[in-house]
Amino acid sequence: MNELSNFEIEVMHLFWEAGELTAPEAHERVASERDVAYTTVKTIIDRLEQKGALKRVRTYGRTIVYAPLIKKEAMAKRHLQRFIDTVFKGRPRDLFATLFNDDQLSLDDLSYLESLLKEKDHD
Protein backbone atom coordinates (compact mmCIF):
# COMPACT_ATOMS: atom_id res chain seq x y z
CA MET A 1 0.00 0.00 0.00
CA ASN A 2 1.16 3.52 -0.78
CA GLU A 3 1.90 5.90 2.08
CA LEU A 4 -1.01 7.90 3.42
CA SER A 5 -1.07 11.68 3.63
CA ASN A 6 -1.79 13.41 6.93
CA PHE A 7 -5.35 14.19 5.83
CA GLU A 8 -5.89 10.60 4.69
CA ILE A 9 -4.74 9.43 8.13
CA GLU A 10 -7.11 11.92 9.76
CA VAL A 11 -10.00 10.45 7.75
CA MET A 12 -8.87 6.90 8.56
CA HIS A 13 -9.10 7.74 12.27
CA LEU A 14 -12.82 8.38 11.75
CA PHE A 15 -13.26 4.90 10.29
CA TRP A 16 -11.14 3.24 12.99
CA GLU A 17 -13.28 4.91 15.66
CA ALA A 18 -16.66 4.29 14.01
CA GLY A 19 -16.00 1.00 12.23
CA GLU A 20 -18.21 1.88 9.26
CA LEU A 21 -19.21 5.23 7.77
CA THR A 22 -20.73 6.71 4.66
CA ALA A 23 -19.02 9.62 2.89
CA PRO A 24 -21.64 12.11 4.19
CA GLU A 25 -21.10 10.86 7.75
CA ALA A 26 -17.33 11.15 7.38
CA HIS A 27 -17.71 14.66 5.96
CA GLU A 28 -19.93 15.71 8.85
CA ARG A 29 -17.30 14.55 11.35
CA VAL A 30 -14.39 16.19 9.53
CA ALA A 31 -16.39 19.41 9.00
CA SER A 32 -17.00 19.67 12.74
CA GLU A 33 -13.22 20.14 13.15
CA ARG A 34 -12.30 22.13 10.02
CA ASP A 35 -13.80 23.88 7.03
CA VAL A 36 -13.74 21.30 4.25
CA ALA A 37 -16.00 20.58 1.26
CA TYR A 38 -17.89 17.31 0.94
CA THR A 39 -16.20 16.68 -2.43
CA THR A 40 -12.78 16.88 -0.78
CA VAL A 41 -13.70 14.26 1.81
CA LYS A 42 -15.26 12.05 -0.88
CA THR A 43 -12.07 12.33 -2.96
CA ILE A 44 -9.99 11.29 0.06
CA ILE A 45 -12.30 8.31 0.66
CA ASP A 46 -11.98 7.30 -3.01
CA ARG A 47 -8.18 7.52 -2.74
CA LEU A 48 -8.19 5.46 0.45
CA GLU A 49 -10.27 2.83 -1.32
CA GLN A 50 -7.85 2.82 -4.29
CA LYS A 51 -4.90 2.47 -1.91
CA GLY A 52 -6.53 -0.52 -0.21
CA ALA A 53 -7.13 1.23 3.11
CA LEU A 54 -10.94 1.26 2.87
CA LYS A 55 -13.45 -1.14 1.36
CA ARG A 56 -17.09 -0.88 0.38
CA VAL A 57 -19.18 -3.07 2.65
CA ARG A 58 -22.70 -2.31 1.41
CA THR A 59 -24.89 0.27 -0.29
CA TYR A 60 -28.20 1.91 0.51
CA GLY A 61 -29.52 3.21 -2.79
CA ARG A 62 -26.65 5.40 -3.99
CA THR A 63 -25.06 5.71 -0.54
CA ILE A 64 -21.99 3.55 0.03
CA VAL A 65 -20.88 2.33 3.45
CA TYR A 66 -17.11 2.02 3.89
CA ALA A 67 -15.02 0.17 6.47
CA PRO A 68 -11.27 0.11 7.15
CA LEU A 69 -9.19 -2.64 5.57
CA ILE A 70 -6.01 -1.79 7.45
CA LYS A 71 -5.64 -1.72 11.21
CA LYS A 72 -4.51 1.43 12.94
CA GLU A 73 -1.58 -0.41 14.54
CA ALA A 74 -0.30 -1.70 11.19
CA MET A 75 -0.46 1.77 9.63
CA ALA A 76 1.24 3.33 12.66
CA LYS A 77 4.02 0.75 12.53
CA ARG A 78 4.68 1.44 8.83
CA HIS A 79 4.75 5.20 9.27
CA LEU A 80 6.88 5.01 12.40
CA GLN A 81 9.39 2.72 10.69
CA ARG A 82 9.55 5.09 7.71
CA PHE A 83 10.07 8.02 10.09
CA ILE A 84 12.84 6.19 11.96
CA ASP A 85 14.49 5.17 8.68
CA THR A 86 14.31 8.70 7.27
CA VAL A 87 15.03 10.89 10.29
CA PHE A 88 17.13 8.60 12.46
CA LYS A 89 18.80 6.53 9.70
CA GLY A 90 17.11 3.36 10.92
CA ARG A 91 18.21 3.69 14.56
CA PRO A 92 15.22 3.55 16.93
CA ARG A 93 17.48 4.21 19.93
CA ASP A 94 18.13 7.70 18.52
CA LEU A 95 14.38 8.34 18.52
CA PHE A 96 14.14 7.33 22.17
CA ALA A 97 17.19 9.39 23.08
CA THR A 98 15.55 12.42 21.48
CA LEU A 99 12.32 11.86 23.40
CA PHE A 100 14.12 11.37 26.71
CA ASN A 101 16.58 14.23 26.29
CA ASP A 102 13.96 16.79 25.27
CA ASP A 103 11.66 16.01 28.21
CA GLN A 104 8.88 15.03 25.81
CA LEU A 105 7.69 12.22 28.06
CA SER A 106 5.67 12.69 31.23
CA LEU A 107 6.19 10.56 34.33
CA ASP A 108 3.08 8.60 33.32
CA ASP A 109 4.60 7.99 29.88
CA LEU A 110 7.86 6.80 31.44
CA SER A 111 6.00 4.51 33.84
CA TYR A 112 4.03 3.03 30.94
CA LEU A 113 7.22 2.45 28.93
CA GLU A 114 8.81 0.81 31.95
CA SER A 115 5.86 -1.59 32.23
CA LEU A 116 6.16 -2.41 28.51
CA LEU A 117 9.86 -3.16 28.93
CA LYS A 118 9.19 -5.40 31.91
CA GLU A 119 6.46 -7.22 29.99
CA LYS A 120 8.76 -7.65 26.98
CA ASP A 121 11.52 -8.93 29.28
CA HIS A 122 9.20 -11.67 30.58
CA ASP A 123 8.30 -12.89 27.07
Residue 82 within any structural domain of the chain: no
49 and 95 fall within a common domain: no
Percent of the chain's residues with pLDDT above 90: 72
64 and 102 fall within a common domain: no
Residue 49 within any structural domain of the chain: yes
Q: Return the pLDDT at 113.
A: 86
Which strand (E) or helix (H) includes residue 76? Answer: helix 72-87
Question: In this predicted model, what pLDDT tens digit does every residue of 72-110 receive, in sequence order?
Answer: 999 999 889 999 999 999 999 998 888 888 777 888 988
Domain range for 16 is 6-68
Chain-centre distance for alpha carbon 33 = 17
Please report, to the nearest 10 degrees, the dihedral formed by the alpha carbons of residues 96, 102, 106, 107 taken in order.
80
How far apart (Å, rounded) are the C-alpha atoms in residues 45 and 63? 13
How far apart (Å, rounded) are the C-alpha atoms in residues 103 and 40? 38
Residue 44 within any structural domain of the chain: yes
Percent of the chain's residues with pLDDT above 70: 98
